[in-house]
Amino acid sequence: MTAYVLRRTGGALLVLLLLSVAVYALFYVAPGDPAKLACGPRCNAEQIAQVRDQLRLGEPLPVQYLHFLQGLVTGRDYSTGTGVLHCPAPCFGLSYQNDQPVAQLLASRLPVTASLAIGAMVLWLLLGVGTGLLSALRRGGATERVLTVLTLTGTATPVFITGLLLLMIFCATLQWLPFPTYVPLTEDPEQWAWNLLLPWTTLALLESAKYARLTRSATLETLAEDHIRTFRAYGLRERRIVGRHALRGALPPVVALNAVDLGTMFGGAMLTETLFGLPGLGRLTVESVRTVDLPVVVGAVLGVGAAVVLANAVADVLYALADRRVTLT
Amino acid sequence: MSDTPDTGAWRRLRARPSAVVAAAVLAALALLALGAPLLAALEGQDPTTYHDQLVDSARGGVPYGSFGGISADHWLGVEPGTGRDLFARLLYGARVSLLVALGATVVQVALGVAVGLAAGAGGRLLDAVLSRFTDVLLALPMLVFAVALTAIVPDGFPRPLLLVLVIGLLGWGGTSRIVRAQTLSLRGRDHVAAARLAGRTPVQIARRELLPALAAPVLTYAALLVPTNIVVEASLSFLGIGVTPPTSSWGQLLSTATTWFRADPLYVLLPSGCLLVTVLACTVLGDAVRTALDPRERSRLAVGTRRAAAAPQKGATP
Average pLDDT (B208-226) is 87
> Best interface-test mutation with B: which of A164, A213, A293, A298 has the largest number of B CBs within 10 A?
A164
Rounded CA separation B205/A12 (Å)? 36
Question: Which chain A residues touch B309 with a CB distance below 8 Å?
Answer: 214, 217-218, 220-221, 253
Nearest residue on chain A to B272, alpha-carbon basis: A161
Average pLDDT (B48-55) is 76
Average pLDDT (B151-176) is 88
From A17-21, A186-190, B69-73, the region with the lowest mean pLDDT: B69-73
From A74-78, A276-280, B23-27, the region with the lowest mean pLDDT: A74-78
Supply the angle between the helices A159-166 and B265-293 in degrees, to the nearest 10: 140
Contact B182, B213 (CB under 8 A): yes
Q: Average pLDDT over chain A, rounded to whole?
A: 83
pLDDT at B93 over 80: yes
pLDDT-derived band at A328 (thresholds 50, 70, 90) equals low
Average pLDDT (B43-66) is 75
ipTM for the predicted complex comes to 0.85
pLDDT-derived band at B56 (thresholds 50, 70, 90) equals confident
pLDDT at B24 over 90: yes
> Best interface-test mutation with B: which of A27, A97, A160, A255 has the largest number of B CBs within 10 A?
A160
- What pTM does this model have? 0.85
Question: Which chain B residues touch A262 with a CB distance below 8 Å?
Answer: 141
pLDDT-derived band at B163 (thresholds 50, 70, 90) equals very high
**What pLDDT was estimated at residue B204?**
86
The answer to whether the peptide bond before residue B217 is cis (omega within 30 degrees of 0) is no
Rounded CA separation A146/A130 (Å)? 14
pLDDT at B3 over 50: no
**What pLDDT was estimated at residue B312?**
40
Rounded CA separation A88/B243 (Å)? 38
**What pLDDT was estimated at residue A322?**
66
Percent of chain B with pLDDT over 70: 90
Of the candidates B253, B232, B220, B246, the one whose C-alpha atom is nearest the C-alpha of residue B147 is B232
Residue from the list A253, A289, A308 with its beta carbon closest to the beta carbon of B148: A289
Q: Average pLDDT over chain B, rounded to whole?
A: 82
pLDDT at B298 over 70: no
**What pLDDT was estimated at residue B209?**
85
Rounded CA separation B294/B308 (Å)? 17
**What pLDDT was estimated at residue A327?**
54
pLDDT-derived band at A326 (thresholds 50, 70, 90) equals low
For residue range A225-250, what is the model confidence (pLDDT) as tens digits? 888 888 888 888 877 787 777 777 77
Question: Under an 8 A CB cutoff, do B309 and A145 touch?
Answer: no
pLDDT at B8 over 80: no
Question: Under an 8 A CB cutoff, do B139 and A264 touch?
Answer: no
pLDDT at B53 over 80: no
B269: CB partners within 8 A, 6+ apart: none
**What pLDDT was estimated at residue A323?**
62
Question: Under an 8 A CB cutoff, do A301 and B144 touch?
Answer: yes
Nearest residue on chain B to A222, alpha-carbon basis: B309
Contact B119, B126 (CB under 8 A): yes
Of the candidates B51, B186, B34, B30, the one whose C-alpha atom is nearest the C-alpha of residue B117 is B186
Average pLDDT (A199-213) is 87
Rounded CA separation B217/A162 (Å)? 32
For residue range B57-71, what is the model confidence (pLDDT) as tens digits? 777 777 777 777 677
**What pLDDT was estimated at residue B308?**
39
Average pLDDT (A150-161) is 83
Question: Under an 8 A CB cutoff, do A221 and B151 touch?
Answer: no
- Most confident of the following: A209-218, B104-113, B122-131, B184-193: B104-113
For residue range A279-319, what is the model confidence (pLDDT) as tens digits? 999 999 999 988 888 889 989 989 888 888 888 888 878 77
For residue range A65-101, what is the model confidence (pLDDT) as tens digits? 888 888 888 888 877 667 777 888 788 888 888 888 8
Report how far Cα B199 is from the mean position of its chain's Cα atoms. 40
Question: Which chain A residues touch B241 with a CB distance below 8 Å?
Answer: 286, 289-290
**What pLDDT was estimated at residue B27?**
93
Contact A118, A258 (CB under 8 A): no
pLDDT at A262 over 70: yes
- B269 vs A246 pLDDT, higher one: B269
pLDDT at B272 over 90: yes
pLDDT at B314 over 60: no
- Give the DSSP H or E segment for A244: none
Question: Which chain B residues touch A220 with a CB distance below 8 Å?
Answer: 306-307, 309
